[in-house]
Chain A
């Protein structure tokens, strides 16, 4: 099935078209989404780790919105990129590790969001549990970026 996806007419067009509106723009949108997604997560993590703690936590909610919007873009573009190269990507262990790391980052984001908008937010923000979540989040996104980048270089 992976091979038939990669050999579909769509995949052939995406990879072989000379237009920048084919593969290059999908790849660029995927990169843009990664930048917004990881960027929003990292800056929220920095806040939770104690930097700029004058920022009231509930005010960072728009960053969570940016994070989920970016995830939507990266899921769509990522699926398109996967279809085009399904036969090679699908067999790369690193690709599945990358997806697991992204999942870990997203689950952490949900847990952080749940703790940072309701109840005694400031007490939660100072708790070790939230700081540990922030550290897991930083690890997940840095590792996911690393895995994603190395996919382009490891056969």
Chain B
């Protein structure tokens, strides 16, 4: 199995990707605002799509941050408290970002059903995006305080107070403690992870079988009300998966199977967005056959999710870090 990178590469990736949730969310907030002011649904739609993709990309930002922390721990002039505080702020940002992404997807799904956007939903996403920007800015500021000697003399380096790990509303250490004190938390999360996976794959099967042509005689649009169940399955697996990672990061950070799982997860997640917004698919009547592009989309979505499952199940065997 080709490796994705060593600790330094992952730390490098963290520095590259962390601009998506920070700068990216600010830009998309602007796009959404313009869409609202101009009453232009198309611009709003672009904003929702971009937020969903940024939320997806935030997952590897958080994950690679743990590798960066591992590489930096023990280096001269680096405070482990500063890292822990940044980590907790990053966790809060990840949760905010995921909620914003979920609501953006919900807005796109509603648009698909009603043919028009409701202002209430756009405002909800806008407010969530604003809160996410606040959370991510805090995390970014605390991250910059870990090792950037060139800004330490400035008045904004410690803008959000000094680093005191453990005082946050939600903390990685708190999650780890919870897991170590509740022996059934892990098996219950594993059970939920498998149930979420089945629920999501069931929805993916009927949707993508229709595109590929294995299911015929129904319009594509008739699957509409099933899509949120796929999203619920994804949400369950996002939460339980993060619980595993935060409780035992050492099992995952350098695990090559985990790296491939994440790469496939990014692509598979993107196919879920494409399925939601792909006009040609939604126009398919009961008897119509999807174009070659539609069939390829349906087939690749199934293959990608099976790949995510494969590397997930193989985590203890390919990466051998358990």
Report A's interface with B, CB cutoff 8 A: 20, 23-24, 27-28, 31-32, 34-36, 38-43, 46-47, 51-52, 54-56, 58-60, 62-63, 66, 141-142, 145-146, 148-150, 152-153
Which of B198, B203, B209 interacts with A62 by CB under 8 Å? B209
B229 touches A20 (CB 8 A): no
Residues of B within 8 A of A24 (CB): 313-314, 316-318
B223 contact set on A, CB distance < 8 A = 52, 55
B310–chain A nearest beta-carbon distance, Å? 6
A-B pairs with beta carbons under 8 Å apart, 23 shown: A23-B317, A24-B316, A28-B313, A28-B314, A31-B194, A35-B309, A36-B205, A38-B198, A39-B199, A42-B202, A54-B219, A54-B221, A54-B222, A55-B206, A56-B217, A60-B206, A62-B209, A63-B215, A66-B209, A145-B194, A146-B191, A149-B194, A153-B186
Q: A63-B209, A63-B215, A149-B191 are known contacts. Are A55 and B222 too (CB-CB below 8 A)?
A: yes
Task: Given the known inter-chain contacts A27-B313, A32-B306, please indicate yes or no for A52 contacting B224, CB distance below 8 A.
Answer: yes
- Give the shortest distance, in Å, between A39 (CB) and chain B (any CB): 3
Interface residues of B (CB under 8 A from A): 186-187, 190-191, 194-195, 197-206, 209, 214-219, 221-226, 229, 286, 306, 309-310, 313-314, 316-318
Judging by beta carbons under 8 Å apart, are B218 and A59 in contact?
Answer: yes
User: In the complex, A73→B205 CA distance in Å?
Assistant: 17
B205 cross-chain contacts in A, Cβ below 8 A: 36, 39-40, 43, 63, 66
* Complex CA–CA separation, A38 to B34 (angstroms): 44
Q: Roughly how many angstroms separate A42 CA and B204 CA in the complex, as a whole number?
A: 12
Contact status A149-B190, CB under 8 Å: yes
Chain A interface mostly: helix
Determine the chain B residues whose CB is within 8 A of the CB of A43 once the complex forms: 202-203, 205-206, 226, 229
Tell whether, in the assembled complex, residue A51 and residue B226 are in contact, meaning their CB atoms are under 8 Å apart.
Answer: yes
Contacts of A59 in B (CB 8 A): 215-218
Closest to B226 in A: A52
Give Cα A56–Cα B210 distance, bound, in whole angstroms. Answer: 13
- Determine whether the beta carbon of B191 is less than 8 Å from that of A145: yes
- Given the complex, which residues of B lie within 8 Å of A35, measured CB to CB? 194, 197-198, 201, 309
Give B199's nearest chain A residue, CB to CB. Answer: A42
- Residues of chain B within 8 A (CB-CB) of A31 are 194, 309, 313
A52–B195 contact, CB under 8 A? no
Nearest CB in chain A: distance from B280 CB, A: 19
Q: Is the CB of B195 within 8 A of A20?
A: no
Chain A residues positioned under 8 Å from B203 (CB to CB): 39, 43
